[in-house]
Every structure is written in structure tokens, then in C-alpha cells.
Structure 1
Amino acid sequence: MLFYRAAVDLSRSMLNYVAGIIRSHRKAIRSTWRRLNPAQQALLVLVYLRKGETFTELGAGFGVSAATAWRYVEETIGLLRARAPKLRHALRSADRDGLHYLVLDGMLVHTDRVRADRPYYSAKHRTHGMNIQVIASPDGTIIWTSGSLPGSTHDLTAARIWGILRALEQAGILTLADKGYQGAEGPVATPYKGRDKPASQKTANRSHARLRGPGERANAQLKSWRILRKLRCCPHKAGKLCKAIAVLQNYEFARG
């Protein structure tokens, strides 16, 4: 096997942040020795998430076995995911921050499932994947991400399963969403549907899209981490990965 040096487009501050979480965890469980120190483990995990490399490639690059690389990744993703806010807490924080509205959007994380796995097949995207619901602020900051459901799940159905509509109604925050959420109850505003709409509805739809657009960049931020472009692991890990990545994204946003 050949080896080469490579770069990861993440900040030193993020590396120190993840290393600090790992260091605290090791101290709490009294883990006296590991093959990699906290900073090396943090770098391994960031490479996995950002570049989507396999565990065999990670192990070769960091001088550990593929099984050890897998354990380090699973451990760190669990620690990051634990820092992701619950839905109601996230909405309370958004209300305290004075956000005038939120943006709700669905995201499909592609998987390598075969065509026989019909529950994972999204007719909308014409590919297999897992449905993730994302709530973002008007500027695209990630507020909350859901767990994962099979790709065949409709966005409105997914929002109801995760209790998003009920939580938004209780929070009383206006939320913009695309036509996939037509019929949603509560403070969810969607564009007008149908052909030959009057000029007033067309104008309203343009304004709706203009306000919703920046918030939907949250999905692009998540997909900038290559691990989410096509999962090669268990598809049900998609939600855990999204929550861990959202914690990292929000840390970087707060720092900058």
C-alpha cells in the first residue's frame, strides 16, 4: 500500500474542540492508554466525516487496524451526537434568539442499498437513501436535525413522525417549507400549488422562495461532509451522523 500526505479543509480550532471532548471522555471512563492520543483520534474522525474515507484507508493512514478506526469513529460520533439539542430545546433557543421565522426542509442521504430494498427508494430523487428533516435559521444555521427514516417516507409524514409540526405549533414560530409539506398544520407556511395561479399568488411564491432559499443552504452545509454524499454503512446511522456533523458546523459558525 502506498502512503501520501493530505489536507483536510477544517480549522485547528475544530480539531482542538473534538480532541477536548475525547480527552474529557477518556478521563471520565479512566482510559489510561490508547494507540492514538485524543488529538490523533479527533483528526481520524474528522477525516472520516469530511472526506468519507473507508476504515481500511483510515487505519492505514493512522497506523491502526480497521477495527480500531471503527471503534474510534463510533465513540466520537456518539460523544458529538450527545451534544446535539433536543427539538423543543432547539426551538426555545431559536425563540430566545429572536428569530422571526425558521425553515423546514427534507434531505435525502444516499445509500448503497440495492434496488430490492424498496423502503429505501425515494421516487422523488429516483435513488435509495434515508430521509432527514432539517430545521434551519433564516441565514442557514442548523437549528436541529432529525433521526433517519427510509427514503420512501414523504417529507410531511416524516415531520409528523418526529413530532416537528406539533413542536412548532407549541413554540408558535412561523416556519417556511416547500410544497412537500402542503397540508401541514400549525404555523407552517408553504407555497401555493397549481397551474394558472393569479398574479398575487405567483408574487407570494416568489417572496416565499426568496426567504426560504438561504435557510435551505443548511442541507448543502451538511452535504459538504462527504460521508453524507453516499453512505456505505448501515443506512440507519444517517441520523446520528447528521446530528454529529451539525454540532461541528454550529461550533465553526459560532467561532467565526
Structure 2
Amino acid sequence: MNKNSRAEGAGFPVYQSRLPLSNATVTMVADLLRGRMKAIGSRWRKLPAGRIAVIVLAVLRHDQRLSDMAGGYGVSASTVRRWVLEVIGLLAARAPRLDRALHAITRSGGEVVLIDGTLVRTRRRTGRQNRRNYSGKHKAHGLLFLAVTDERGNLLWISAAKPGRALDLTAARHNKICAKLRAAGLGAIGDLGFTALDDDPDNPVIITGKRAARRKPLTSAQKEANKLISRERAANEHGFADLKNWRILTKVRMNATHATTLLRSLLVLTRAEITR
């Protein structure tokens, strides 16, 4: 917090905090809003596009409550919610599809990508959604997402949301990862959650480690191979860390139907902020 001040016409103090984002990112979001307003013929908003961009980015980056942001700027919480949904929709439309992202890596001379899954925690759901979104692995409610990064850990693609109880293997098969990798002429490195994903063991396109069976422990060579694969996969974890710097992902409180749009919009913002 930098300093306390009073909002015009209000009797409550508001605080200011630094938004750790580049001016280019704020300008990109503001330009998207201006283009949207021009396309729909909207001549007036409660606040200018640049200020709306800052409000939405503050909500995404710091997980600010909508009512807190609304009170500081003299608008309603429903207005801020509408701005957030509008902006994440505009950003998500710029997220690359999997096949295009893979072919871009091929054109740049890349040969391998990294793939992994992560659980984005959500509020506990009621009714039938309760058990579907519960992950026994993480002992928490959430939604499963797959992500593909390049060798340096730069995010390339985010999958649609799957229930928290789903497996990485199931989500990868649903998205036809192997077929799209072969079409792009690329290989992939994944963790043990993707074991047996590739249906062509003689010409595998996804490399994973080896699992130890109950009565068949791993050999020294297999253990060393697992260490090498884990070392190569470390960059993928950096990509997830960059994504989860957006604190709204600490626990997603918005409707789960918007979760895919939210993750893909954050992918675009992360790519704009971080280029290794």
C-alpha cells in the first residue's frame, strides 16, 4: 500500500497498490476494449478504456474483490463483473489453438514440447458437481487443465476445463494430443501421468518415465532415465508458476463455465508479460 486517500464524494478511505505489469500489457487490454466498443457502436462507458483495463487487471493479478474495486471507483460490483467477463472473453479469443501452436514451434526449428496437467482449485460445488470436481489426488475441489510449453517453459496452449476427478491421461486422449504432435512432427515429454498414452510403442511421440511395479522395482538405468526426464520437465513447472502468479487462480470463485475462458485469457497475458 502506498498511501491513503479519499474517493471523491465518498466518506470511506481507499488504498492504492502497485500493479506489477508492464505498460504494454495495460495498453494491449485497453486497445482491445476500444476496438470492442467501436465494433458494437458503444459511445460511452462509466470509465475510460484505460481505467477499465487497470481495474480488470487488478482483479486478475491480485484477486481483488469486485465490491472493493467497485467502491474505490464509484461503480457497482455488477459493472466490474461485466467488465471482467468482457475482457477475459476478448483475451481468450486471442489464445492459440493446439495445432497452430505446435506448427509454430515446428516452423521456429523446435523439436520437442513439454506437457503437464494442473488442478485449479475452485469453491466446493453442491449437488452432482460436488463429486465430479473433487480430486482424490489433491484432496481438493477444482478443475483440471492441460498445458503445453516449449523447452524454455513458455506457455503455448491451455486445454478446456475438465472435472477435477479426471486424469491427465484421459484429458490428453480427449484432446488428441498424440495425433496433433505427429501431424506437427514434434515429440513431447510428460510425467508418469501420461504413461501408456502413446498407442505406438515402436515409434513413441511422448516420452515418459518408468513406473515401478509391486514386485518389479526399477533398475538403476531406469531410475537415471527418470531423473533425466524430470530435469527436462522442470521448465514446464516454471510455465505453471508464471500462470499462477495471477492470484485469481488461488481459488476460482466465478462460475465454472467461465473457467476455460479465464485460463486462456491468462495464457495470453502471461505470454505478453514473459518471453524467455
Aligned counterparts of 2:176 and 2:56: Cα–Cα separation in 1: 31
Pair 1:36 & 2:47 matched: yes
Aligned counterparts of 1:72 and 1:145: Cα–Cα separation in 2: 23
> Counterpart of 1:53?
64
Q: How does 1:68-147 map to 2 (within 5 A)?
A: 68-114=79-125, 117-147=130-160
Decide which of 172, 194, 203 is 2:212's aligned counterpart. Answer: 194
Aligned counterparts of 2:186 and 2:259: Cα–Cα separation in 1: 27
Greater shift, 205-214 or 232-241, is seen at 232-241
* 1:3 aligned partner, one-letter code: V
Aligned counterparts of 1:216 and 1:250: Cα–Cα separation in 2: 15
Aligned counterparts of 2:38 and 2:125: Cα–Cα separation in 1: 43
What secondary structure sits across from 2:248 in the alignment? helix
Deviation at 1:233, TM superposition (A): 1.2
Q: Deviations over 1:156-204 (max 9, x none)?
A: 1011112223212322211000001110115111111106311111111
* 2:191 aligned partner, one-letter code: D
Given that 1:106 and 1:131 are in contact with CA atoms closer than 8 Å, whether structure 2 keeps it comes out as: yes
Task: Give TM-score scaled by structure 2 length.
Answer: 0.88
Aligned counterparts of 1:228 and 1:166: Cα–Cα separation in 2: 30
Given that 1:109 and 1:238 are in contact with CA atoms closer than 8 Å, whether structure 2 keeps it comes out as: no
Backbone CA RMSD of aligned residues: 1.5
Aligned counterparts of 2:120 and 2:258: Cα–Cα separation in 1: 10
Aligned counterparts of 2:266 and 2:205: Cα–Cα separation in 1: 28
Deviation at 1:115, TM superposition (A): 7.5
Q: Considering only CA atoms, is the larger Rg found in Structure 1 or Structure 2?
A: 2
What secondary structure sits across from 2:160 in the alignment? strand
Aligned counterparts of 2:154 and 2:148: Cα–Cα separation in 1: 9
What secondary structure sits across from 2:27 in the alignment? helix
Aligned counterparts of 1:37 and 1:162: Cα–Cα separation in 2: 40
> Counterpart of 2:180?
167
Decide which of 266, 269, 275 is 1:245's aligned counterpart. Answer: 266
Pair 1:228 & 2:249 matched: yes
Higher share of residues assigned helix: 1
Decide which of 166, 176, 182 is 1:153's aligned counterpart. Answer: 166
> Counterpart of 2:227?
206
Structure 1 residues 115 and 74: CA distance shift in structure 2, 3 A:
closer
What secondary structure sits across from 1:3 in the alignment? strand
Q: Which stretches of structure 1, 4 residues or longer, exceed 6 Å deviation after superposition?
A: none
Q: Deviations over 1:1-43 (max 9, x none)?
A: 5411111111122111111111111112111010011101111
* 1:18 aligned partner, one-letter code: V
Aligned counterparts of 1:91 and 1:34: Cα–Cα separation in 2: 39
**Identity, % of aligned positions:** 36
